[in-house]
Amino acid sequence: MSKQTPADRKKKGKAIRKTVPRSSHADWSPPADRPDPVDLITGQDKERLQWLVPIRHSRMAVSAFTFYRGAAKVMAADLAGTPATGLSAQICGDAHLSNFGSFASPERQQLFDINDFDETLPGPWEWDLKRLATSFVLAGHDNDFKQTDITPIVTQSVASYRQAMAKFATARTMDTWYAHISVQQIADALPKKKDRAQVTKSAAKARSKDSLKAASKLTHEVDGQLRIKSQPPLLIPLRDVADQDKAESLRKDVHQSLSGYRSTLTDDRKLLLDRFHIVDIALKVVGVGSVGTRCMIVLFAGKDDGDPLFLQVKEATDAVVEDYLPKSTYPLHGQRVVEGQRLMQAYGDIFLGWSVKSSGHQYYTRQFHDMKGSADVAAMNPRRMGGYAKICGAALAHAHARSGDSIAIAGYLGSGDTFDRAVTKFAFAYADQNQQDYETFKTAIATGKIKAKEG
């Protein structure tokens, strides 16, 4: 444990400004040997379920923003060459604005936080913040905002991060650890009545999302037994997968994964899980960047079919940042994801765990529906997106403060807006780079270099 005083740690952060000026974070220009973005993306496709890969490409081709969501590998390669302070924290690795949302704490309180950790690893906190800021530029473009509206939104996301980190730097250690953002706090802080009403409405919708609601939408009775519906190509029960050899391999993966997963839970949660039994398994397509990875939803029943539980068993693969950072200290990717989530989130899913056995594929498990909600970014006006940017910036700062040196980071950032303006400039420059990469990607589809299929 560090014996440095708070004053020493702040001084350390401020001293880094001499070697890594805050203004240097504005810089972005592609190096001469920059990898081909399409090659980086298709390189990820090799180990995925091949019949789903064209759906991934199709989803990425919808807009520059959806391309960005699936191109975390491309940005990780680019960020590796940008200035970094050397102050490490547990990073998300894919901190775009759609990877934040609401979920239930074990006490059934609705919280707001980062909610995707597939790429998590210890690394430069700046990488997460630059990816978040750039996502607001792209979302603003997607919503046809003027640049004069987008600029303050992006700057607000960075300024909110800096201001929140300054608060964590002066807070007691345990207060920082327990800090959280509740959906009710967000609603209460909004000055406009119609914005408060919108958050309250969205929160009510998210509260209704649980295993019972999922069962009502995703299951039906077949010969008196509850079964997951077939909705190809996005939801396919394993019994309906065309290649039954592959289906059997996936079924074996799930059972083997769940067998090992149980040992990663605390004893009380093992007891709770043991009160359920498996009813059905289906392959589920989720997100944009994750399409093609092995992701299954597993339907369990408790005392009867009216007592369902859905768990998601999701493949964990190499983190996109791993080629540019020290390898994970954990032997399995599922454990890397789970332990990273536990570090970054104030409160986590009671069923979060990983498979300790590997049949060639590695998995982690969590609840499929547990009051999960996400912002309707496409429906936002500039005012609402600006408010959302502030919340995301503060949530990201908390995630980094839990594992990183908040005092040193805050000392580096300072109280002025030098860093805010620099990252805003970077975000616009990198959004232009993403647009070029997106055009290259669409050309690869149009010329048949890669395949795309709607789904």
Output the DSSP codes for 342-401. HHH-SS--TT-EE-S--SSS-EEEEES-SS-B---GGG--HHHHHHHHHHHHHHHHHHHH
- Sheet hosting strand 235-237, strand order edge to edge: 235-237, 277-284, 295-301, 308-315, 363-367, 353-354
Q: Do 25 and 422 touch, CB atoms closer than 8 A?
A: yes
List the one residue out of 347, 385, 342, 386 whose CA is nearest residue 364. Answer: 342
Whether residues 303 and 353 fall in one domain = yes
Whether residues 237 and 300 fall in one domain = yes
Peptide bond into 106 cis (omega under 30): no
| Single residue among 326, 347, 367 that ends a domain in this structure | 367
Task: Give the Cα separation of 4 and 87 in Å (integer).
Answer: 15
- Residue 452 resides in a domain: no
Whether residues 258 and 392 fall in one domain = no
Q: In sequence order, which residues have a C-beta less than 8 Å from that of residue 3 and are 6 or more positions away?
A: none
Q: Which of 69-83, 144-158, 182-196, 384-398 has the lowest mean pLDDT?
A: 182-196
- Residue 155 resides in a domain: yes
| Single residue among 339, 367, 395 that ends a domain in this structure | 367
Whether residues 227 and 363 fall in one domain = yes
Whether residues 43 and 190 fall in one domain = yes
Whether residues 162 and 201 fall in one domain = yes
Q: Do 363 and 355 touch, CB atoms closer than 8 A?
A: yes
- Residue 174 resides in a domain: yes
Q: CA-based angle 431:69:80, to the nearest 5? A: 65
Per-residue pLDDT, 56: 97
Whether residues 184 and 128 fall in one domain = yes
Q: How many CB atoms lie within 10 A of CB 236?
A: 22
Look at the chain and report how many structural domains it folds into: 2
Whether the pLDDT of residue 455 is over 80: the answer is: no
List the one residue out of 410, 426, 412 whose CA is nearest residue 163. Answer: 410
- Residue 419 resides in a domain: yes
- For tokens 């997607």, the residue is 142
- Residue 1 resides in a domain: no
- Residue 50 resides in a domain: yes
Whether residues 338 and 437 fall in one domain = no
Whether residues 292 and 306 fall in one domain = yes
Q: In sequence order, which residues have a C-beta less than 8 Å from that of residue 47 and are 6 or more positions away?
A: 317
- Residue 220 resides in a domain: yes
Q: Which of 5-14, 45-54, 355-364, 442-451 has the lowest mean pLDDT?
A: 355-364
pLDDT class of 359 with cuts at 50, 70, 90: low
Whether residues 198 and 215 fall in one domain = no
Per-residue pLDDT, 356: 82
Whether residues 67 and 165 fall in one domain = yes
| Token pair recorded at residue 327 | 């390898």
User: What number is the average pLDDT over the span 341-353?
Assistant: 95
Whether residues 75 and 187 fall in one domain = yes
How much is the pTM? 0.96
Name the residue range of residue 381's domain: 6-207+376-446
| Token pair recorded at residue 41 | 């993306």
- Residue 60 resides in a domain: yes
Q: How many CB atoms lie within 10 A of CB 134?
A: 28
Per-residue pLDDT, 190: 84
User: What number is the average pLDDT over the span 280-291?
Assistant: 94
pLDDT class of 323 with cuts at 50, 70, 90: very high
